Structure 1
Amino acid sequence: MRDVHAPPSKSATNRALVLAALSSEAVELVRPLDSEDTRALARCLEAMGAVVEPAAAGLTVKGPLGRQGTTEEVVLDAEASGTAARFLAPLACAFPGRYVLTGSPRLRERPMSELLAALRVLGADVEERGAEGFLPLSIRGGNLRRASIEVDASRSSQFLSALLLAAVAVDGGLSVRPSGRVVSAPYVETTLAILREFGHSVRRGASGEIRVERGSASPGSWEVPGDWSSSLPFFAAAGICGGDVSVIGLSWPSPDADALALDAIESMGVETERETGAIRARAHPRSLRPVSIDAADFPDAVPVLTALAAFAEGESRFAGIGHLRVKESDRIAALAALAQAAGATALDRPEELSIAGPPRPAAAPARLPTFEDHRLAMAAALLSLGVPGALIENPDCVAKSYPGFFRDLETILVRG
């Protein structure tokens, strides 16, 4: 196998786009991710008044946001991006203008109610145009006020991150306290780290509240780190095929949620060497082991772990993942169906997924469904490495987060 460069982080690019649009001066984003999701967010920020232009090293983003003095409704189409929808809702409430926030059919099925409840406490003028707690939304902006609030982040940490980012747009800032267990909690730490790097004040209280206030500095430029979520498949490929691979451009140690999954991958039989700037993985063929883990904090890694589990001798169990049912697909049910299509045994429960391998031989080539979900397509690609003749349905859906995924996967599989 060969080396591969990590793609730019989708979660960091999205957060940086928002904070750059909220900065007092233009910010150059160095090596941002160019994907369907990040383009959707950038277009919506432009519709709100920001300027997003190509730059030598990436993009230049400049505010201000808001449509002061116009009565025309501005449509903010988040397309299929849950992150964009959750981040845009409080921004539209904070800045003057009339907005309609909408998205794809699947996005209109993904929950927003916890975030909307918190926004209404802050004085937001927001109404659902369809089912309660879902897109599309009608928003009259410019009404958010300083306050201390609670938000339920037990189904998505994006609700909490969205409010923390929007605090920069509120005079005096916001104090936000999560209620209940925060799923995917490391993503909140990523939000706080980027807020600090953009010069904003972040303080934690004794009772768990997080206070964010606007700072006076602007970073000028900000470099997007490598994406752990999209790099994990390369480590898994080493485990499935045998061999070694180095992914360049990943920071270590890392606060990224999916960096936590590296321990799980090691437990399954893939050795890793972790250094600043590069992570190396190696494994022997047919050496994978089953695991039983709580994956609540790294949900985007579960599709990759599912593919590895399909080739391990015995049953693996991934618990604490009920929030995967409200992603781009019902990922628990979809991963069970995908593993079964590859010949493995799968059992999906409300909050967990069990996978037992290795795959059974099939009389006909397997057809691997992706459910139009980019993470499922990456998992299907990994499964196809050990299931000869497998056909992946709609592989192009990887463009949501990693348009060059199949090119880079092919690169590491070609032996030098």
Structure 2
Amino acid sequence: MNLKLEHISNIRNNTLQITGSKSETNRLLILQALYPNISIENVSNSDDSGLMQKALQSEELVVDIHHAGTAMRFLTAYFAVKEGRETVLTGSKRMKERPVKILVEALQQLGCEISYENEHGYPPIRIQGKQPSTNHVALQANVSSQYISALMLIAPSLPDGLEIVLEGKVTSVPYINMTLSLLKDVGIEGTFQNNKITIGSYQGVISKSVVVESDWSSASYFYSIVALSNDRSVTIGSYKKESYQGDSSLSEIYKYLGVETTFGKNTITLKKVSDSVLALPEGLDLSNSPDIAQTIAVTCFGLGVGCYLTGLHTLKIKETDRLEALKTEIEKLGGQVHITEDTLRLEPSDTISKDVSIATYNDHRMAMAFAPLAVKTSLFIEDANVVSKSYPDFWLDLKKLGFEDSNV
């Protein structure tokens, strides 16, 4: 479905309920599979979480997780220690281009049995579930935090727990801390000190109910909408000030772009408080929250200001090469973007082309990051249904704010 978004002059004040965090949900689903008495509330209604649930319930040899990168990483570790179970884990064409070698090698260090069906280092992989022979593993620290979290999630189910040594500078620390916090929420203790994560064994029954906080990366699109609007506010739930999610840094970052965040009881209200936009800090480091980089870059473009974002190396191995995709689509709209392997520089610009068709590259975040520009101009979003990967109600929620759309 290709969607035309019409230029709107003002957004409606409204209150929206955002689906549960995909990141928190998928971690908790693995823990629930290991400890079935755990119950989860406010589960994400994203495609990725649905695929995770389906995979965990499957008894088939071949498990296809399509585009769900988190599911690929977490399930690789889960099936690797599921004794006696053989699984071939596969996915979409793009998933087969996304590396899994570092995680596979870490699991092989533990004594797990995993082989590649096609290209070395990439899915599909064949997993022979077995009990690990050691409780110590080392891997690079500057890799996707999902590799590290995958190991952390299976750790308590192992007879001797797990010690994970991270070599080098650790990136995406908030996601590691999120995993530790969720483990603690269900009664499992762990530590993360001096590049070493230690999680003890827990062989008992866990009876806990956990409420998933709503997704902060989904909130980013409403920060962008409010920043691009004139004196409007939006209230969204369910959020908490002491969040486990690194993307909650939005509340500080968007102060520079004229948006104030007020925390209520399980809600946040975003309000445009200033027409004078401050420059973002030069070299804003998003290594702890890379999923909001696209939104921030597009917001700055819409406001006519430049930005220089760093810490973006993981964006090259997402659903698409997000740095290349951002450069291509912003430049179609009249902007100028320079990228390296881990940085993006947007030049200030005071023009936005109208009726441009934005390619989404099978990437949900491309569709949602560019949609707020409809506050400034009319545009087309190609393959708009791709948002279902993380936020199926996105277009419905935009309509509640006064956005007008039509299928083309």
Partners in 2 of 1:202 and 1:280 — Cα distance? 34
User: 1:5: Cα distance to partner?
Assistant: 1.6
Question: Contact (CA 8 Å) 2:310, 2:344: kept in 1 or not?
Answer: yes
Tell whether the 8 Å contact from 2:304 to 2:350 is kept in structure 1 after alignment: no
Match of 1:7? 19
Q: Which residue of 2 aligns with 1:186?
A: 174
What are structure 2's unaligned runs of at least 5 residues? 1-12, 404-408
Where does residue 320 of structure 1 map in the other structure? Answer: 311
1:273 Cα deviation (Å)? 1.9
1:215 Cα deviation after fit: 5.5
Tell whether 2:381 aligns with 1:370: no
Aligned counterpart, 2:8 = none
Query: After the TM superposition, which residues 218-229 of structure 1 pair with which residues of structure 2 at under 5 Å, given as runs?
Result: 218-229=206-217
Match of residue 148 from structure 1: 136
- What is aligned with 2:3? none
| Distance in 2 of aligned mates of 1:273 and 1:120 | 47
Q: Is contact 1:199–1:217 with CA below 8 Å preserved after alignment? A: no
Do 1:28 and 1:221's aligned partners in 2 also have CA atoms closer than 8 Å? yes
Shift of 1:126: 0.6
* 2:373 is the counterpart of 1:383: yes
Partner in structure 1 of residue 384 of structure 2: 395
Work out which structure has the larger RCO, using CA pairs closer than 8 Å and 6 or more positions apart in sequence.
2
Write the mapping of 1:332-351 to structure 2, written as runs, cut at 5 A.
332-351=323-342
Match of 1:62 in 2: none
1:257-336 residue pairs with structure 2 within 5 A? 257-283=246-272, 287-291=276-280, 292=282, 293-336=284-327
| Deviates further, 249-258 or 138-147 | 138-147
User: How much has 1:276 moved relative to structure 2?
Assistant: 4.5
Give 2:72's aligned residue: 85
**Shift of residue 167, structure 1, vs aligned partner:** 0.9
Q: Identify the residue that residue 40 of structure 1 maps to in structure 2.
A: 51
Contact kept in structure 2, 1:374 and 1:399, CA below 8 Å: yes
Letter in 2 for 1:100: V
Residues 73-124 of structure 1, C-alpha deviations (whole Å, 9 max, x = no match): 7112111111000001111110121110111111111111111111111001
* Alpha-carbon contact 2:110-2:135 (below 8 Å) kept: yes
Deviation at 1:410, TM superposition (A): 2.1
1:218-269: CA deviation from partner (whole Å, max 9, x where unpaired): 1342221111111111121111112111112111121311001321111222
Q: Does 1:129 align with 2:117?
A: yes
| 1:10-33 C-alpha deviation (Å, 9 max, x unpaired) | 01110111101100x433321211
RMSD of the alignment, in Å?
2.0
Moved more, 258-267 or 205-214: 205-214
Give the drift of 1:216.
2.8
> What is aligned with 1:18?
30
1:403 aligned counterpart, secondary structure: coil
Q: Check conservation: 1:124, 1:144, Cα contact below 8 A.
A: yes
TM superposition shift of 1:285: 7.7
Q: Are the aligned partners of 2:302 and 2:352 in contact in 1 as well (CA < 8 Å)? A: no
d(CA) in 2 for partners of 1:204, 1:310: 38
Matched, 1:360 2:351: yes
Gaps of 5+ in 1: 49-72
User: Equivalent residue of 2:319, what SS?
Assistant: coil
Write the distance in 1 (CA, Å) between the matches of 2:94 and 2:81.
Answer: 26
CA distance in 1, matches of 2:203, 2:373: 47
Distance 2:39 2:131 in 1: 29
- Among 124, 127, 151, the residue aligned to 1:163: 151
Amino acid at match of 1:33: S
Q: Residues of 2 paired with 1:207 and 1:161: CA distance?
A: 14
What amino acid sits opposite 1:138 in the alignment?
R
Residue from 1, 22, 38 that aligns with 1:27: 38
1:75 maps to a residue whose letter is V
CA contact (8 A) 2:69 2:95 kept: yes
Per-residue Cα deviation, 1:349-397 (whole angstroms, up to 9, x for no partner):
22111123445253x621111111001110121123212x211111110
Name the structure 1 match of 2:395.
Answer: 406
Give the whole-Å Cα distance in 2 for the aligned partners of 1:189 and 1:410: 35
Question: What residue in structure 1 maps to residue 126 of structure 2?
Answer: 138
1:216 lines up with 2:204 in the alignment: yes
SS at match of 1:236: helix
The 8 Å contact of residues 253 and 276 in structure 1, kept in 2 or not, is answered as no
Note if contact 1:244-1:282 (Cα within 8 Å) is conserved in structure 2.
yes
- CA distance 1:354–1:204, shift in 2 (3 Å): closer
State the partner residue of 1:54.
Answer: none
Matched with 2:6 is none
Which deviates the most, 145-154 or 254-263?
145-154
Tell me which residue corresponds to 2:242: 253
- What TM-score do you get using the length of structure 1 for normalisation? 0.88
